[in-house]
Amino acid sequence: MSSPAGHLPVLLESISELLGPPSGGTVLDLTAGRGGHAEALARAAGAGGRIMLCDLDAGNLAFAEARVRGVAGAEVRSMHGSFANADRAMLAAGWAADRVLADLGFASTQMDDPSRGFSFQNDGALDMRLDLSRGETAADLLARMSESALADAIFQLGEDPFARRIARTIVERRSRAPFRTTHELAIAVSAAYGPKARESRMHPATRTFMALRIMVNDELGALRSLLEAFRATASKFPSTTWLNPKARLGVISFHSLEDRLVKHAFVEWETAGLGQRVTRKPVEASDAELRANPRARSAKLRVFEFASEIGAVR
């Protein structure tokens, strides 16, 4: 099933149920994307509600802002940049969040746009930056990383068992000409797989592309900074400034390394008396959702509710 916004929000029912704000409440959507989740949360907040949207992708952010402004009586503001800095936008607005959502990774519109370089399905420049206004592209990384660093990244972030062979092939190939396009990289990775490419369930380049995307956008570093910012703020309850006591944070992750970071942070916060896990096990997509949106396959939602003050859980 497609969506006029170009992206179907995953686990929408669970998000509405577990992260629906109180009437007139304040929502911080850290990954606004195409605004699907934000629209539902804004409707729940209603007139008098406040919605802060954040995204690295200026195009997505503008789309989400227009979408959310169009449907809800809520006040909408936005911040272009990494969610690791969203606290500054909340402080500048003088807002404190009741509900916070991070729906990690990329939107379908980004993956489907050949000029963004996220996919090997269509040929395009090897870019992969979520924020087109700054940072190194995938082509830059492929040109400068050592063979061993590439192998480690493709193994750890992409979990590709042929990581060493792929890194060797990349380094050998780039000594002749730099990688410029997604097809050039996909062909090199397929060559590294050799006859094994035919046995592979997915395209041989899938995992290498995922590893590069995670590196280009420092996705794990950004998530770590985000979780640290929440911990530091919640440790000051009840005298916090941008997060309300009893606020809820929901994180949807699509990669086991991300999910592990979230799971461990929530357990540690609970042990430290900062609040309680709302979800003990991650919420996953139903069969019906998977049929409509195969992208939801790896989505895992975890939700944490902060206490009103440290140690005062419920």
Ligand X SMILES: C[S@@+](CC[C@H](N)C(=O)[O-])C[C@H]1O[C@@H](n2cnc3c(N)ncnc32)[C@H](O)[C@@H]1O
Contacting positions for ligand X (CB under 6 A): 7, 9, 31, 33-37, 54-57, 60, 82-83, 103, 105-107, 130, 222
* Nearest-5° Cα angle at 143, 137 to 144: 95
Minimum CB separation of residue 9 from ligand X in Å reads: 3
Which is closer to ligand X, CB of 169 or CB of 233? 233
Which is closer to ligand X, CB of 173 or CB of 300? 300
Which is closer to ligand X, CB of 44 or CB of 151? 44
Which is closer to ligand X, CB of 27 or CB of 107? 107
Minimum CB separation of residue 64 from ligand X in Å reads: 7
The residues pairing with 78 across neighbouring beta strands, listed in sequence order, are 53
Minimum CB separation of residue 196 from ligand X in Å reads: 31
Which is closer to ligand X, CB of 9 or CB of 117? 9
Minimum CB separation of residue 252 from ligand X in Å reads: 7
Distances in Å between the Cα of 89 and the Cα atoms of 11, 26, 43, 52, 233 are: 27, 13, 22, 8, 15
Minimum CB separation of residue 137 from ligand X in Å reads: 15
Sheet holding 97-103, edge to edge: 75-80, 50-55, 26-29, 97-103, 243-253, 300-306, 275-277
Minimum CB separation of residue 254 from ligand X in Å reads: 8
Assess contact for 249 and 97: CB atoms under 8 A. no
- Taken as a whole, the chain contains a residue count of 314
SS3 49: coil
Which is closer to ligand X, CB of 9 or CB of 245? 9
Distances in Å between the Cα of 37 and the Cα atoms of 10, 66, 135 are: 8, 14, 28
**Cβ neighbours of residue 184 closer than 8 Å, sequence gap 6 or more:** 126
